[in-house]
C-alpha cells in the first residue's frame, strides 16, 4: 500500500509537470515552426534598409546634378574678360568661393575652355579658408572624360528627359588630393556653358567629396547601432561592384572617415563571389545569408541596386547592409532562449509544487494506511484519522471506522462464544464426575451387602459356591461398569 501511495505522489508530480509545461512547450514548438518567418522579417528589414539608403544617396546626388547647371546661370560668367586671371580674385572666383562655403560639399570648382585650359578655380575651401589652387592653372584637362562628354552632350539622362549634366563614377582624383591634403575621392559633376548659338564655350566642373555619401552611410550605421546591431557593415559599391564606402564599427567615432586604401576602389565584391553584391550591381534588391569575402563569416545581407531618385537616373550603385547572423537574429534568439528558460523555470516550479502538493495529498492517505495496518494487525484501539473530513478521504476514514467497529463486535461475540463453550465443558465434566461417584458408591454398597451375607449365612457349601458365583458375576458387572465410567470420565477430560 505504501508503494501505491508513493506511486500516487509521483503521478501527481507528473500531472503537474505535464499540465504546467504543456502550454510553454506548445508555444516553444510554435515559435520554432515560425522561426524562419521571423528571420525572414529581419532579412526583409535589412533589404529595406539597403533600399532606403540607396534612395537617400541618389536624392543627394540628384541635388548635386542640378547644382552645376544652376551655377552656370550666374551672370558673372557673361564677363569673359575675367577669365584666365589666376592672380586675381575676379567676381567669378568670388562666386566660386561663395558656392564652396555655402554648400560645403565641394572640394574643387573649375571652369575650363573646350581645349581643357583652366579659366577659373576656387581659392577657398568649404570652410572659407584659403587653399592653394594656383597650380591647377598649369594643368590641361583636354583628356578629362568629363570635358569630352560635356562638349559632346553625353549627359546622364533622366527617364523624363531631365538632362544636361555629366556625372562620373567616384574616383581618387590627385588634384583634389593635393588641394585638400586628403585621399582625393570625389564625384565630378560637369555641364557646358553655351553661347547664344548653343555652342559650348566652356565647361564647369564640380568635384563633390565622396564624404557626402560617407556621411549618409554613417547616419544609417548609427541607426542600426541604436537598434542593437553595432557590428553592422554598410557598403556602397560602384556599378561594377568595387567598394566605394565600407562602413563598420571602427569608423563610428571617427570623422572624416579613414578609408582603407587597400579596399576602397580596389576590392570588387561581385567578382569575389559575394552573391549579395552580384545581385545589387544587377539592380536587384532583397536579402540573404551570404559569406563575407574577407572575414569568412556568415552574414545576414540586405542588398539593393540604386536606380536614381526624382529625375536623377543614378550611377547604378549597389548598397549592402551586412550583419553577423547571430547579431541579426539576436531578437529571435533572445525570444527562443526566453522560451527555453521559461520552460526550465516552469519545470522547476512545477516539480517543487508537485512535490509539495503530493506530500500534502499523500499525508492523510499515509495516516489511513498506517491505521489500517494496525487494525489489520489486531490493534483495535487504533484511532481512525480523518473521520470528520467532508471529502473523499473522510469517506474512506468512515468506511474504515465501520470496519473497526465490526471487528470489535466480532471479537466480542467470539469471546462470548468461547465463554459459553468453556462453561458447557465444565458442566459436562461435573456431570461425568458425579456419575462416577454414584457408580463407585453403589459398588461399595454391594460389596458391603455381600460381606454381610457371607458372615450371616452358614449354609451349605453348595449354597456358598452358588453365592460365590453370583458375587463373582456381580463383581464382574460392577467392574465393567466402573471401567466404562472411568473411560467416559477420561474421554470427557481429554476433550
Higher per-residue pLDDT: 309 or 188 = 188
Judge whether residue 60 has pLDDT over 90.
Answer: yes
pLDDT, mean of residues 435-456: 68
Least confident among 31-45, 130-144, 225-239, 473-487: 473-487
Buried residues in 431-444 as b, exposed as e (16+ CB within 10 A):
ebeeebeebeeebe
The pLDDT of residue 75 is: 93
CB of 305 within 8 A of CB of 50? no
pLDDT at 113 over 90: yes
Which pLDDT score is estimated for 253? Answer: 45
| Cβ 247 vs Cβ 233: under 8 Å | yes
- pLDDT, position 292: 73
β-pair type (318-324, 243-247):
unpaired
In this prediction, residues 450-478 reach a mean pLDDT of 62
Residue 427 has pLDDT above 70, yes or no: yes
Highest average pLDDT, of 294-303, 375-384, 446-455, 470-479, comes from: 294-303
Average pLDDT of 403-415? Answer: 76
Question: Tens digits of per-residue pLDDT, 460-469?
Answer: 556 656 755 7
pLDDT tens-digit profile of 318-364?
Answer: 999 999 888 866 655 565 556 666 667 766 776 676 667 666 766 77
| Residue 1 confidence (pLDDT) above 70 | no
Q: What is the pLDDT of residue 476?
A: 73
Can you tell me the mean pLDDT for 80-99? Answer: 94
Residue 2 has a pLDDT of 46
**C-alpha gyration radius of the chain:** 61
Can you tell me the distance from the alpha carbon of 474 to that of 444, in angstroms, rounded to the nearest whole number? 12
Q: pLDDT grade, residue 297 (50/70/90)?
A: confident
> How far, in Å, CA of 261 to CA of 434, rounded?
142
SS3 string, the chain, reads CHHHHHHHHHHHHHHHHHHHHHHHHHHHHHHHHHHHHHHHHHHHHHHHHHHHHHHHHHHHHHHHHHHHHHHCCCHHHHCHHHCCCCCCCCHHHHHHHHHHHHHCCEEEEEEECCCCCEEEECCECCCCCECCCHHHHHCCCCCCHHHHHHHHCCCCCCCCCCCCCEECCCEECHHHHHHHCCCCEEEEEEEEEECCCCCEEEEEEEEEECHHHHHHHHHHHHHHHHCCCCCCEEEEECCCCEEEEEECHHHCCCCCCCCCCCCCCCCECCCCCCHHHHHHHCCCCEEEEEECCCCCCEEEEEEEECCCECCECCCCCEEEEEEEHHHHCHHHHHHHHHHHHHHHHHHHHHHHHHHHHHHHHHHHHHHHHHHHHHHHCCCCCCCCCCCCCCCHHHHHHHHHHHHHHHHHHHHHHHHHHHHHHHHHHHHHHHHHHHHHHHHHHHHHHHHHHHHHHHHHCCCCHHHHHHHHHHHHHHHHHHHHHHHHHHHHHHHHHHC
Rounded to whole angstroms, the Cα distance separating 231 from 329 reads 12
217 with 170: CB under 8 angstroms?
no
Rounded to an integer, the average pLDDT of 64-75 is 94
pLDDT at 101 over 90: yes
The arithmetic mean of pLDDT across residues 443-449, rounded, is 69
**In this predicted structure, which of 114-118, 155-159, 250-254, 336-340 has the lowest mean pLDDT?**
250-254
Q: Which residue has the higher pLDDT, 473 or 77?
A: 77
pLDDT interval class at 477 (50, 70, 90): low
Q: What are phi and psi of 339, to 5 degrees?
A: -65, -40
Count CB-CB contacts under 10 A for residue 407: 14
Interatomic CA distance for residues 305 and 44, integer angstroms:
15
Average pLDDT over the chain reads: 82
pLDDT of 203 > 70? The answer is yes
- Asked if residue 439 has pLDDT above 70, the reply is no
Alpha-carbon distance of 406 to 3, in angstroms, equals 27
Query: Do the beta carbons of residue 291 and residue 320 sit within 8 Å?
Result: no
Q: Kindly state the average pLDDT of the residues 104-130.
A: 97
- The candidate with the shortest Cα–Cα distance to 326, out of 47, 45, 42, 32, is 42
Q: Which residues, in sequence order, are CB contacts of 426 under 8 Å at separation 6+?
A: none
Are the C-beta atoms of residues 216 and 56 closer than 8 Å to each other? Answer: yes
C-alpha grid cell, residue 477 = 458387572
Per the CB < 8 A criterion, the answer to whether 173 and 207 are in contact is yes
Over residues 444-473, the mean pLDDT reads 63
Question: pLDDT tens digits for 205-261?
Answer: 999 999 999 989 988 888 888 888 888 899 999 999 999 998 766 555 455 567 888
Q: For residue 54, what pLDDT band results from cuts at 50, 70 and 90?
A: very high
User: How far apart are the C-alpha atoms of 259 and 177, rounded to whole Å?
Assistant: 13
Give the mean pLDDT of 139-158.
95
Q: Which of the residue ranges 68-72, 77-81, 290-294, 424-428 has the most confident prediction, judged by mean pLDDT? A: 68-72
Round to the nearest angstrom and report the end-to-end CA distance of the chain.
44
pLDDT at 370: 75
312 pLDDT band, cuts 50/70/90, is confident
Angle, vertex CA 44, rays to CA 40 and CA 46, nearest 5: 120
Half-sphere exposure of 436 (CA within 13 A, CB side): 17
Amino acid at each position: 500500500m505504501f508503494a501505491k501511495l508513493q506511486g500516487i505522489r509521483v503521478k501527481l508530480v507528473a500531472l503537474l509537470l505535464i499540465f504546467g509545461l504543456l502550454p510553454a512547450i506548445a508555444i516553444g514548438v510554435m515559435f520554432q515552426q515560425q522561426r524562419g518567418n521571423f528571420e525572414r522579417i529581419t532579412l526583409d528589414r535589412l533589404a529595406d534598409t539597403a533600399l532606403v539608403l540607396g534612395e537617400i544617396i541618389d536624392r543627394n546626388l540628384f541635388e548635386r546634378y542640378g547644382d552645376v547647371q544652376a551655377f552656370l546661370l550666374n551672370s558673372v560668367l557673361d564677363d569673359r574678360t575675367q577669365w584666365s586671371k589666376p592672380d586675381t580674385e575676379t567676381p567669378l572666383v568670388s562666386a566660386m568661393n561663395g558656392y564652396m562655403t555655402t554648400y560645403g560639399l565641394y572640394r574643387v570648382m573649375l571652369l575650363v575652355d573646350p581645349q581643357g585650359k583652366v579659366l577659373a578655380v576656387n581659392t577657398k575651401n568649404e570652410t572659407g579658408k584659403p587653399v592653394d589652387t594656383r597650380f591647377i592653372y598649369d594643368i590641361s584637362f583636354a583628356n578629362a572624360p568629363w570635358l569630352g562628354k560635356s562638349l559632346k552632350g553625353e549627359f546622364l539622362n533622366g527617364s523624363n528627359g531631365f538632362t544636361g549634366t555629366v556625372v562620373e563614377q567616384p574616383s581618387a582624383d590627385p588634384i583634389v588630393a593635393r588641394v585638400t591634403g586628403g585621399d582625393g575621392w570625389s564625384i565630378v559633376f560637369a555641364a557646358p556653358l553655351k553661347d547664344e548659338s548653343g555652342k559650348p564655350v566652356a565647361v564647369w566642373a564640380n568635384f563633390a567629396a565622396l564624404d557626402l555619401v560617407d556621411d549618409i552611410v554613417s547616419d544609417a550605421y548609427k541607426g542600426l547601432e541604436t537598434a542593437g546591431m553595432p557590428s553592422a557593415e554598410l557598403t556602397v559599391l560602384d556599378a561594377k561592384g568595387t567598394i566605394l564606402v565600407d562602413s563598420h564599427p571602427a569608423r563610428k567615432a571617427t570623422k572624416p572617415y579613414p578609408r582603407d586604401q587597400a579596399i576602397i576602389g580596389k576590392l570588387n565584391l561581385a567578382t569575389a563571389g559575394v552573391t549579395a553584391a552580384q545581385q545589387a550591381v544587377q539592380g536587384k534588391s532583397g536579402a540573404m545569408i551570404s559569406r563575407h569575402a574577407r572575414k569568412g563569416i556568415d552574414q545576414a545581407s540586405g542588398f539593393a541596386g540604386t536606380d536614381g531618385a526624382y529625375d536623377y537616373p543614378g550611377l547604378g550603385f549597389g548598397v549592402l547592409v551586412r550583419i553577423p547572423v547571430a547579431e541579426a537574429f539576436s531578437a529571435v534568439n533572445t525570444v527562443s532562449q526566453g522560451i527555453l528558460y521559461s520552460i526550465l523555470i516552469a519545470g522547476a516550479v512545477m516539480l517543487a509544487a508537485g512535490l509539495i502538493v503530493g506530500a500534502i495529498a499523500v499525508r492523510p492517505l499515509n495516516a489511513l494506511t498506517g491505521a489500517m495496518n494496525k487494525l489489520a494487525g489486531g490493534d483495535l484501539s487504533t484511532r481512525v484519522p480523518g473521520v470528520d473530513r467532508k471529502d473523499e478521504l473522510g469517506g474512506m476514514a468512515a468506511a474504515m471506522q465501520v470496519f473497526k467497529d465490526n471487528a470489535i463486535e466480532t471479537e466480542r461475540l467470539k469471546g462470548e462464544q468461547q465463554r459459553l463453550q468453556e462453561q458447557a465443558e465444565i458442566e459436562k465434566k461435573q456431570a461425568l464426575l458425579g456419575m462416577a461417584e454414584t457408580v463407585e458408591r453403589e459398588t461399595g454398597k454391594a460389596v458391603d451387602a455381600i460381606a454381610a451375607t457371607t458372615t450371616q449365612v452358614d449354609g451349605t457349601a453348595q449354597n456358598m459356591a452358588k453365592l460365590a458365583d453370583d458375587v463373582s458375576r456381580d463383581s464382574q458387572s460392577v467392574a465393567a461398569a466402573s471401567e466404562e465410567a472411568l473411560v467416559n470420565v477420561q474421554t470427557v477430560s481429554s476433550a
